[in-house]
Amino acid sequence: MSAQGDEFDLSGKVAVVTGGSRGLGRAMVLGLARHGADVVSASRKLAAGEALAEEVESETGRRALPIACHAGIWSDCDALFEKTYFEFGRADVLVNNAGMSPLYPSLPECSEELFDKVLAVNLRGPFRLTSLFGARMAASEGGSIINISSVAAVAPSPVEIPYGTAKAGLNNLTLGCARAFAPKVRVNCSVPGPSLAESSKAGDLEACHKKAALSIPLGRGGEPEEIVAAALYFASDASRYTTGAILKIDGGAVYPAA
């Protein structure tokens, strides 16, 4: 437990977030910094990461380091790992948040390039980063790795099958690495459901509200801060006896896989 008795206090910790410059990743970076962590925001667009770093440092006083990184490129993952340890000398939390789910006209028309790109960003990158950071954490003071999955892993729609396949692999990666890096490193997974913010991009916001009210038991889509709250639990001492957990955060939208 932290010296202050606050189990969610991340003071003195360094947290790395992929896909960290916008959307859920941005919320993760801000949330971790607000709880005391220095943060590394990894994203493809360095300018967006630099703008967020200025905001983080101005608001929280924590150090924020933007690093250009394409999570689907193996060498970029290696560089992210090396730069983090060069700048901070440690990493205590890794959030594998970067993801993508491009549309395709039909399954036969889903190209090899699209399929490979989706698997690379959503699964290959987290595998490489978890392998690197997990081994280093296990050899030092330990840490926490948090994978951001999706309900598509257990209930994919016809328009997100490659994405759901990759996220199912991410769930499996969580379970395997929780054992591989125990007892010093905890590896857990959040499984977000429908998000109003994301759903509204594809259509009318009012229609999204109506659909959520009918299809989600809690009657609404999720908010970024609700996923961030789970990440704070996994990142902090509050989850010190939790590893290999796959936590569904979807308002009851889907049932777990049988």
Please say if 104 is a catalytic residue. no
For the record, the structure tokens of 90 come out as: 């440690």
pTM (2 d.p.): 0.93
DSSP one-letter string for 135-196 = HHHHTTT-EEEEEE--GGGTS--TT-HHHHHHHHHHHHHHHHHHHHTTTTEEEEEEEE--BH
Q: Where are the domains of the chain?
A: 14-249
pLDDT at 90: 98
pLDDT at 200: 45
Catalytic hit among 104, 163, 233, 241: 163
For the record, the structure tokens of 98 come out as: 């970067």
Walking along the chain (258 residues) 10 residues at a time, the average pLDDT comes out as 69 97 95 98 96 97 98 98 98 97 96 98 98 98 98 93 98 98 98 69 64 83 92 97 96 75
SS3 assignment, position 36: coil
Tell me the one-letter amino acid at 144.
S
Taking the CB of residue 51, how many other CB atoms lie within 10 A of it?
15
For CA atoms 172, 177, 182, 184, the dihedral sign is negative
pLDDT at 216: 87
pLDDT at 15: 98
**CATH code for the domain defined by 14-249:** 3.40.50.720
The vertex-93 CA angle with 150 and 193, nearest 5°, equals 15
Tell me the one-letter amino acid at 258.
A
For the record, the structure tokens of 151 come out as: 């309900």
pLDDT at 220: 85
pLDDT at 3: 43
- The torsion of the CA quartet 119, 124, 130, 135, rounded to 10 degrees, works out to 160
Sheet holding 14-18, edge to edge: 64-68, 38-43, 14-18, 93-96, 143-148, 185-192, 246-249
